[in-house]
Amino acid sequence: MKKALLIFTLAVTLKIILLGALFLSANCSFDELVWFADVQSYLKIADSFPLPYSFEGMQANAKHYPLLPFFMWIVSPFFAGNFVYAGFFSAIMISSLCCVVLYLIAKQFTERAFEISLIFAVLPDKWAQVSIYPLSESIFILFLLLAVYYHLKGNFIGAYTSMGLMLLARPVGALFLFSFLLIDIIVERRFFVIKYAIIAIIPFFVFHGYLFILFDKLMLFADAQIGGAYSGDGFSYPLSGLVAGIKDSNLLLVRKIYTLSIFFCYLVVFILAWYHLFKTKKYQLFSAIIIPYFIFILFLKGNNHNWWMLSLPRFLIPLAPFGFIFLFGKLKEKYLYAILSISTIMSIAYSVGSYIMHIKYGSIV
């Protein structure tokens, strides 16, 4: 318990340092710091509670899910109703809790759980950046980690309840639900978990029923402006997009190098997941999470190649905590603290540099 509290405190500290560096380099107010599409959408949804999405013009925001805005709404009275401050506070608290849950998971597999969980506070760099913003990544990963933790403990009610809540953060959680069912039903023959899975997804469909009543149309994975599957129109062809992005002379060299580096790091994690799938039974759940999701991200279908060059690091973040257990689980303590120190500096530089690029080139976070 003491170590978990220490990890939470240190993670909060690291994230406040990161936010402080970003805030000082941006030389603007917090209201200006969050001025890009996704964050603004979550702020609007939070402002629309206790009946979310209910005021005029909210139809376009239905592609962003309500769990994070709900937490922002809950804590907003402590910030005099200021959803920007409530959003930053929620993001930092939730993403720091992710480190605690990762510690509880990792200590079942390695003696380096403390160091690994701290490294996850600042690495990968994209996670360090988005985890301090009012974005859904943090709460999504928190409930994914909770689902894994409860599953490892044999608490299947807790595992599938966590996944049900995860679906209210981001719908791609359905893929992880498939991973859990794959292990429980196909591998372990635990057919009784089906009832937990069915109960867990009820809130997801209740939410979409609510949207149907509000907008008089089925909003399941729908973008109101396009009228089709936004996951197809808004994303890209990752494999061909990577090639096209590397060839594109208009893309910055640093962006190409970063994206390729991230791709190869996750490729190593993917290979390790395949190895452990057949060699190490205790890692099977990790492998079942990593392999389908990695393949899914690579073969998303859409039409915006260069956008994928930005999105790859962000969409692969959910695999990082499990990959860290593979990659860092047997390293010596001194190497892990060196990685933590270097990662902290890199994450600050990445966040500040990304903001400067946002101002200069109009790129998104």
Q: What is residue 332's three-state secondary structure? A: coil
Q: How far apart are CA 27 and CA 295, in angstroms?
A: 40
> Backbone phi, then psi, for 225, in 5-degree steps?
-80, -30
Question: What residues does each domain of the chain span?
Answer: 2-361
Mean pLDDT over 275-296 rounds to 92
| pLDDT classification of 306: cutoffs 50, 70, 90 | low
Q: What pLDDT was estimated at residue 287?
A: 96
* Amino acid at residue number 283: Y
Q: How far apart are CA 107 and CA 103, in angstroms?
A: 6
Give me 314's structure tokens: 């962000």
35-76 pLDDT tens trace: 766 899 999 999 999 999 999 889 889 989 999 999 999 999
| pLDDT classification of 94: cutoffs 50, 70, 90 | very high
Q: What pLDDT was estimated at residue 190?
A: 96
Does the bond joining 124 to the residue before it have cis omega, within 30 degrees of 0? yes
Average pLDDT, the chain: 89
DSSP assignment of 291-305 equals: HHHHHHHHT---S-H
Task: Using alpha carbons only, give the angle 61, 64, 67 rounded to the nearest 5 degrees.
Answer: 125
225 has a pLDDT exceeding 60: no
Q: How far apart are CA 169 and CA 143, in angstroms?
A: 9
Mean pLDDT over 64-91 rounds to 96
Mean pLDDT over 245-259 rounds to 84
Q: How far apart are CA 319 and CA 270, in angstroms?
A: 9
Q: What pLDDT was estimated at residue 300?
A: 72
CA 350 to chain centre: 18
Q: What is residue 273's three-state secondary structure? A: helix
Q: What is residue 39's three-state secondary structure? A: helix
Query: What is each CA distance from 251 to 15, 58, 244, 299, 329, in whole angstroms?
Result: 29, 34, 10, 22, 36
Residue with tokens 């996750």: 266
Least confident stretch, 25-34, 152-161, 273-282 = 25-34
| pLDDT classification of 360: cutoffs 50, 70, 90 | low
Q: What pLDDT was estimated at residue 115?
A: 97
Q: How far apart are CA 36 and CA 322, in angstroms?
A: 30
Alpha helices (H) along the chain: 2-26, 30-33, 37-48, 67-75, 83-106, 113-119, 125-130, 137-152, 156-167, 173-181, 193-215, 230-233, 238-247, 253-279, 284-298, 305-315, 320-328, 333-361
Q: How far apart are CA 146 and CA 173, in angstroms?
A: 13
Q: How far apart are CA 101 and CA 104, in angstroms?
A: 5
Q: How many CB atoms lie within 10 A of CB 160?
A: 26
189-208 pLDDT tens trace: 999 999 999 999 999 999 99
12 has a pLDDT exceeding 90: yes
* Amino acid at residue number 355: Y
Calculate the CA dihedral of residues 71, 104, 109, 325 and round it to 10 degrees: 40
In 3D, which of 163, 122, 117, 106 has the Cα closest to residue 140? 163
| pLDDT classification of 362: cutoffs 50, 70, 90 | low
Q: What pLDDT was estimated at residue 226?
A: 43
Largest CA distance in the chain: 59
Q: In this structure, what DSSP letter does residue 62 have?
A: G
Q: What pLDDT was estimated at residue 359?
A: 63
